[in-house]
Amino acid sequence: MDKPPRLDFSEKLLKYRPDPDRILEAAEEWGYGEKSREVIKRALEVESLGSMPFSMYEAPPIIERAEETAVVYDVDGKRYIDMMAGFAVSNAGHHRRAVLEAIVRQFEKIVQYSEMLTEDRIRLGEKLVSITPGGFPKKVFYTVTGSDANEVAIKLARIYTGRQYIMTQWGDYHGRTIGTAPLTHSTSTWSQIYPVPPADTAIVRIPFPYCYRCPCSKTARDCESCAEECLHQVDYMLSSKYYGLVDSSKGICNIAAMLIEPYQSAAGYIIPPDTWLPSLYKLARDHDILFALDEIQTGWARTGRMWAVDHYPGVEPDLFLVSKSIANGLPFAAVVGRREIMDSWGPGAHSTTFAGYMLGVAAALATIEVIKKENLARQAEEKGKYFRQGFEDLEKKHPLIGEFQNKGLYMGLELVRDRRSKKPASKETSWITMRLLQKGMLVKKAGYYGNRFALSPPLTITYEEIDEALRLFDEVLGEAESRFNVSPAD
């Protein structure tokens, strides 16, 4: 019997590398404007092929400017409905005047000065400890990116508890740095970071109830029973001392924290049943495990509440991670946590030059004010209902739609070739991504099988823009069903 071919590490990496010539061909095929094609060609001369835009589209659009609602333009002036908000960053809309004015005022004073305290930085800390969940004394640690916030949470949990293990869910996303990649799950991430085993040995993974494709039971009757099966597995891991995690008879627990996404974002905006997060929280409390919640994409009013955890009264995370939309476009992040945890390490245990920088503080303060003054959480809730009705209508018409989920304007759309078998429509989803781009809408392809859209428009999207987005989905889904010979709905 012939042996399978062996590839060394560098050859494996080449499988992920895009073909520059193919990118240029795609720009032509999909009708990109002359200036866009010219800039893409220049980008290929100076931009690393490892840059994210080259993974999102066959040819990346060249985004140039935006309106305050959910509309952006490319370098040729072509208009797009924005269904990404820059990865859930511009929740309050693009270049909000109030945020811009705060940035200009701060710029005229000082932009950054190492990591020094300022009065506004303290004001922001006071706001963060008051608006984040948990009725206990809290403190803040600033950083710059979501990945960095996760690094902080991991370090703090291990230092405070003196334990080594971090527990996370299969399918979660917590960053791509060397420290956070073990908690992020994708072949491309691990393959391109590790020439050594792709895991921190002190990372423990538990199932996540992706109910449409339940990983814990082929025969789960419904979403709640899927969650029960998954929870049983977690409980089993924590009740049997042979797993090496917990020995209740001797009061030993080796798990520092559960580091959890309340909903799985990079995986395709997948929402578990309402019983899941409170059940995990109870297990953490029962075993004296810290509960750290990563709300980097789900926070800042996106789900129809200020935080996703606000949908689950009684869940009070020990550590709470925020970033992305905190400064509505400027890089900024923070970890908010119990005072005793946040004070368990000494100065300099973690540091980054731009932590709590003045310009970011000003933008964050202004963004929080806009979110509260305009009640963007309520807007997200109402617009999410409007989107849901629209997609339910489309589901009756288009057999490609397998599932639509949402909490507010946190929306996941899964496409399948057949609703009975749930065969992923991966090729179709890639084509739809480009066709929507061609017709004037930006969407993010995601999912365990590359067959979901993670939809996160700015919360300022208008109802007219929602109607336009639904119309474009209707048109392109119909085209895809004809092109790929997808049978009519039952």
Q: Is 115 within the bounds of a domain?
A: yes
List phi, psi (to 5°) of 280. Answer: -60, -45
Q: Is 78 within the bounds of a domain?
A: yes
**Is residue 441 within 8 Å of 469, Cβ to Cβ?**
yes
**Is the same domain home to 284 and 428?**
no
Q: What is the tens place of the pLDDT at every residue in 288-328?
A: 999 999 999 999 999 999 999 999 999 999 999 999 999 99
Provide the pLDDT for residue 354: 96
Burial 307-322 (b: 16+ CB within 10 A, else e): bbbbbbeebbbbbbbb
Question: Once rounded to an integer, what is the mean pLDDT over residues 3-29?
Answer: 80
Q: What is the CATH number of the domain that holds 276?
A: 3.40.640.10
Instruction: Decide: helix, strand or coil at residue 135.
Output: coil
Q: Is 22 within the bounds of a domain?
A: no
**Is residue 415 within 8 Å of 428, Cβ to Cβ?**
yes
Q: What is the CATH number of the domain that holds 410?
A: 3.90.1150.10
- Pick from 353, 373, 393: which residue ends a domain? 373
**Is the same domain home to 318 and 217?**
yes
**Is the same domain home to 273 and 365?**
yes
**Is the same domain home to 136 and 76?**
no
- Give the H or E element holding residue 472: helix 463-483
- Residue 490 to residue 480: CA distance in whole angstroms: 18
- Give the H or E element holding residue 78: none
Q: Is 8 within the bounds of a domain?
A: no
**Is the same domain home to 234 and 305?**
yes
Which residue carries 């996941």 as its tokens?
A: 412
Residue 190 in this model has a pLDDT that exceeds 90? no
Count the neighbouring beta carbons within 10 Å of the beta carbon of residue 456: 30
- Pick from 304, 339, 373: which residue ends a domain? 373
Q: Is 365 within the bounds of a domain?
A: yes
**Is the same domain home to 301 and 422?**
no
Q: What is the tens place of the pLDDT at every residue in 340-384?
A: 999 999 999 999 999 999 999 999 999 999 999 999 999 999 999
**Is the same domain home to 401 and 292?**
no
Provide the pLDDT for residue 5: 64
**Is the same domain home to 76 and 160?**
no
Amino acid identity for residue 175 in this structure:
G
Q: Is 50 within the bounds of a domain?
A: no
**Is the same domain home to 268 and 192?**
yes
Question: Once rounded to an integer, what is the mean pLDDT over residues 115-119?
Answer: 96
Which residue carries 């066959």 as its tokens?
A: 58
Q: Quick one: angle between helices 463-483 and 376-397, nearest 10?
A: 30
Instruction: Decide: helix, strand or coil at residue 203.
Output: strand
Provide the pLDDT for residue 6: 61
Instruction: Decide: helix, strand or coil at residue 247.
Output: strand
Q: What is the tens place of the pLDDT at every residue in 436-467?
A: 999 999 999 999 999 999 999 999 999 999 99
- Please name which of 55, 70, 84, 28 lies closest in space to residue 438, comparing C-alpha atoms: 28
Q: Is 21 within the bounds of a domain?
A: no
- Residue 425 to residue 433: CA distance in whole angstroms: 12
- Please name which of 88, 90, 70, 95 lies closest in space to residue 80, comparing C-alpha atoms: 70
Provide the pLDDT for residue 1: 54
Domain extent at residue 77: 61-92+376-483
Q: What is the tens place of the pLDDT at every residue in 219-274?
A: 888 899 999 999 999 999 999 888 889 998 888 999 999 999 999 999 999 999 99
- Pick from 313, 344, 373: which residue ends a domain? 373
Which residue carries 């400890």 as its tokens?
A: 129
Question: Would you state the structure tokens that stand for residue 451, as one six-digit string?
Answer: 């067959």
**Is the same domain home to 154 and 71?**
no
**Is the same domain home to 254 and 355?**
yes
Overall domain count for the chain: 2
- Residue 181 to residue 438: CA distance in whole angstroms: 33
Question: Once rounded to an integer, what is the mean pLDDT over residues 35-49?
Answer: 96
**Is the same domain home to 318 and 392?**
no
Residue 3 in this model has a pLDDT that exceeds 90? no
Q: Is 23 within the bounds of a domain?
A: no
pTM of structure? 0.94
- Residue 171 to residue 191: CA distance in whole angstroms: 16
* 180-194, 316-330, 394-408: range with lowest mean pLDDT: 180-194
- Residue 269 to residue 214: CA distance in whole angstroms: 15
